[in-house]
Amino acid sequence: MPREATRAIHGGEELIENVTTFITPIYQTAIFPYPLEDLRGFRGRPLKYSREDNPTNIVLEKRLASLEEGEDALVFSSGMAAISSCLFYLLRSGWRLVLSREVYGATIPLAKSFEKFGVEVELSGPETEDIVDAIRDENTVVFVESVSNPLLRVVDLDLLASACREKGAFLLVDNTFATPLNLKPLLHGAHIVIHSLTKYLAGHNDVIGGAAISSTKIVDELWYTRTRLGCILDPHASFLVLRGLKTLSARLKISQESAKAIAEFLEDHSKVSRVYYPGLPSHPTHHIAKRLLKGFGSVVSFEVKGNGETAGKFLRSLKVIKPSPSLGGCESLASHPVSSSHKDVPREERERLGITERLIRISIGLEDLNDLIEDIDQALRSLC
């Protein structure tokens, strides 16, 4: 099998090998002639309507499955659409949904919306052992992020997957922050892996998308949920993600190297009280990160000395780095989790997790490292 960087460029192309082009075309169509015999067999069904399947999407799905070392994948209109579809597919009345307390802020109200259907929802963690203790039986679905947002805690997937196997529970892992180049949760026992394609995999801040990767059996069943909810990814968006994947390996190498240098710089800065980066020995899950991750990612979070107003002034003082809530793109972006990703999380819960008013999250892009350090330094020095 070709190595990851090669699969990120050529994975899935065998599906269109009869087309004389190096670039997967955009099948910008809502309908197909029915039945279209020469395109039959992608999932044992003829192509007939792009709410169900589209050749551009299928090439992307095969490429994503290859990168995560799963059997198949589905792409969705957003990361939240992927999460919603998986939860609709998995949960039943009387079942139990266990979420890490550190999942993306918008995921928590989504999960709680299932309570009206008779699903018990419990927040647990942030320690992996706490999540393990919340698992009861085979009617439990566990949802975690491999690397959490914004404190970048790494879940002990080996421990968690072992507990899920023992109890017969289902393990759903959002691998957006790690990427398949740094971690492949399916190889550690996860049942479904989710990605926000918007982030690292597309990598250019110009497309919204999501994906779920799993076994052929699960993907075939999840396909019906996606079709009924109508949340398939647009083929033009799939084209943009396919383009982005070709540079994933190169982009991640540069941004991770810069992130490590910036984390070390921040740890020694007089205006910074704490730095969160899995590659630093000071991070509470560094020992897990060293065991599970091939690389530590390109997101760095830190607390400025002062208060929420101090954090706001820091953001306003940045010149090269732009204030924005996303991550994983070519541009370096800074966000204030309390007022963005976790604004809907109750204050008491945020404080319990350590997500304070002083916390800043920076996604490191591809700009020159010296320019980024100088920009961060001048913004920090502007603080009283």
User: Which position among 43, 48, 51, 243 bears the catalytic label?
Assistant: 51
Question: Is pLDDT of 253 > 80?
Answer: yes
Catalytic residue among 7, 96, 184, 199: 199
The CA distance from 235 to 364, in Å, is 28
Catalytic residue among 53, 89, 101, 104: 104
Q: What is the DSSP letter of 24?
A: -
Tell me whether residue 174 is one of the annotated catalytic residues: yes
Residue 27 annotated to the active site = no
For residue 214, the model assigns a pLDDT of 99
Catalytic residue flag (residue 199): yes
Instruction: Classify domain 249-381 at the CATH superfamily level.
Output: Aspartate Aminotransferase, domain 1 (3.90.1150.10)
- Percentage of the chain modeled with pLDDT above 90: 79
Q: Where along the chain do the CATH 3.90.1150.10 domains lie?
A: 249-381
Predicted confidence at residue 45, as pLDDT, reads 72
Q: Does domain 4-245 have CATH number 3.10.20.880?
A: no
Predicted local distance difference test score (pLDDT) of residue 114: 98
Q: Which two tokens stand for residue 159?
A: 């421990």
The confidence band for 37, taking pLDDT boundaries of 50, 70 and 90, is: low
Q: Select which of 156, 174, 234, 375 is catalytic.
A: 174
Tell me how far apart the alpha carbons of residues 189 and 159 are, in angstroms, rounded to a whole number: 10
Residue with tokens 């008491």: 348
Please, what is the average pLDDT of the chain? 93
What residues does CATH 3.40.640.10 cover in the chain? 4-245
Task: Supply the DSSP string of 35-76, one letter for each residue.
Answer: S-GGGTTSSSS---BTTT--HHHHHHHHHHHHHHT-SEEEEE
Strands of 238-288 (E only): list them.
272-276
Per the annotation, the verdict on 130 as an active-site residue is: no
User: Please, are residues 31 and 50 in contact by the beta-carbon 8 Å criterion?
Assistant: yes
pLDDT tier for residue 174 given thresholds of 50, 70 and 90: very high
